[in-house]
Amino acid sequence: MKIKVSSEDLKLGMYISELDHPWIESPFLFQGFLLKDNEELQQVQSTCKYVYVDTEKTPFDVKAKLEVLSASKQKPVKKKKRKPTKIDFTDTVILKRSNFDKGTFTENLIKARKARDKTRGYIDSMLAEAKMGKIIDTHNAKTLVAELASNIVENLDASMWLTQLKARDEYTAIHSLNVCVLSLTFGRALGLDINQLEELGLGALLHDIGKMQVPLEILNKPGKLTNEEFEIMKSHAEKGYEMLLKDDTLTKEVLNIVRSHHERISGQGYPDKLLDKNISYYTKIVSIVDVYDAITSDRVYHDGMTPHEALKRLYEWMPDNYDTKLMQAFIKTIGIYPVGSVVELKTGHIGLVVKLSESHRLKPVVMLIMNRHKEYYPRRKLVNLASTIWDKRDGKPEIKRILDAKEFNIDVKKIINEESL
């Protein structure tokens, strides 16, 4: 059973199963851990208002204290009932033969890939400049973001597909690029115009530039950060802001994103503990996208969540951290079956979601990669689950579930690379 416990009431030996905010933004390495020493206790108390303690994993003597606490202060909290979201897996999807044009999709993918590679090359040199403490030349960044923005306006699904290309190393570069592309995608869905998208995209691209001033051994530490290290890590937001302040061509909005992307609506964020009303709209957009990309990425020390799992977690963290309306819009944008997800159809086929349709959100276009016997197709084919022609030979391919790619050793990166070269 999980019990909600105020941080002040925590005792050594309690097993903390969940924090009140994304653990990726905490100094702790794992989602669940046993409180072993006073340093850890202080860290939890300084970063959380409350946590959830797992009574089953808590040793007996501590459990007794926990029970007293629980009886005197509060009723056990059942796992929070989520408000119904638009996520609904009960709809039936009828298999229809694809009328989706693979040629166009592949062409778009190649075009998006080129824009991405160009931006990636620029990010590498920009981060290297930042590391050496040089003044960042943001002129190129503006041109590239404008290119990415116009690409996304025309070519949304291919760009989103490419955000699945995540490598464990070179994390900050790929993360910056993905946060830029996903913020543009989200911004577009929110109805921003091209000028607004360019401003949002630039802030998103530069948001973590201050990390280049954080020592590598802290940035890539494969273990829990000490208090001191965590403070240094957190300083990246202010450091980035100070680096870019010298550039008088950047707007206040762009600088706000860089400084405030770790602010949270309850005032528990950093560096300024801003409250909801003082956090800008663009900053709120980037803060959602930033955490989404971080938790779906593989790092040296942990594997990323599936896009679908990540959306569920973000929704749980929403009340104290993210703007409700924006989060709901984000879930809608990324989709019920996010682009890039691996899905199993009821027929047994396995495929990758490549395109969402506004009018049929439960019926995406899927690239089939394995047949019903879990054998790879030599040539991958696309099926449009919303199409009206049903190919009887394949049976009904309703989406059965979202899969973790590891379950069948599917190398999503390899597939995307092969399709976009």
Q: Of the ranges 102-110, 166-174, 194-202, 207-215, which one interacts with Fe ion (CB under 5 A)?
A: 207-215
Nearer to Fe ion among residue 208 and residue 229 (C-beta): 208
Nearer to Fe ion among residue 17 and residue 283 (C-beta): 283
Residue 40 as a binder of Fe ion (CB under 5 A): the answer is no
372 contacts 391 by C-beta, under 8 angstroms: no
Nearer to Fe ion among residue 157 and residue 290 (C-beta): 290
Please spell the DSSP secondary structure of 356-404, one letter per residue.
Answer: --SS-TTS-EEEEEE-TTS-EEEEEEEEETT-S---GGG----EEEEE-
Helix (H, G, I), strand (E, B) or coil at 415: helix
Cα distances from 365 to residues 350, 353, 421, in angstroms, run 13, 6, 21
Find the shortest distance in angstroms from Cβ 162 to Fe ion: 21
Q: Of the ranges 39-47, 143-151, 205-213, 355-363, which one interacts with Fe ion (CB under 5 A)?
A: 205-213
Query: Cis (ω within 30 of 0) for the bond into 378?
Result: no
Query: How many angstroms separate the CA atoms of 54 and 35, rounded?
Result: 12
Find the shortest distance in angstroms from Cβ 201 to Fe ion: 16
| Residue 67 tokens, joined | 């029970």
Find the shortest distance in angstroms from Cβ 209 to Fe ion: 9
Nearer to Fe ion among residue 208 and residue 323 (C-beta): 208
Contacts to Fe ion from residues 332-391, by CB under 5 A: none
Nearer to Fe ion among residue 208 and residue 419 (C-beta): 208
| Residue 253 tokens, joined | 């909005």
Find the shortest distance in angstroms from Cβ 262 to Fe ion: 6
- Picking from 4, 15, 36, the residue whose alpha carbon sits closest to that of residue 224 is 36
Nearer to Fe ion among residue 199 and residue 208 (C-beta): 208
Find the shortest distance in angstroms from Cβ 272 to Fe ion: 14
Q: Of the ranges 36-44, 202-210, 346-354, 360-368, which one interacts with Fe ion (CB under 5 A)?
A: 202-210
| Residue 236 tokens, joined | 């990246």
Find the shortest distance in angstroms from Cβ 140 to Fe ion: 22
Q: How many alpha carbons lie under 13 Å from residue 175 in its C-beta half-sphere? A: 25
Tokens 């490419």 -> residue? 162
Q: Out of 20, 40, 208, 419, which residue is the one contacting Fe ion (CB under 5 A)?
A: 208
Residues 6+ apart with CB under 8 A from 180: 119, 145, 148, 201, 204, 205
Residue count, binding to Fe ion (CB under 5 A) = 1
Cα distances from 181 to residues 83, 130, 201, 397, in angstroms, run 29, 21, 7, 31
Q: Are strands 399-403 and 33-34 parallel, antiparallel or unpaired?
A: unpaired
Nearer to Fe ion among residue 231 and residue 407 (C-beta): 231
Nearer to Fe ion among residue 262 and residue 355 (C-beta): 262
Q: Of the ranges 34-42, 208-216, 363-371, 399-407, which one interacts with Fe ion (CB under 5 A)?
A: 208-216
Find the shortest distance in angstroms from Cβ 261 to Fe ion: 6
- What residues line the site for Fe ion (CB under 5 A)? 208
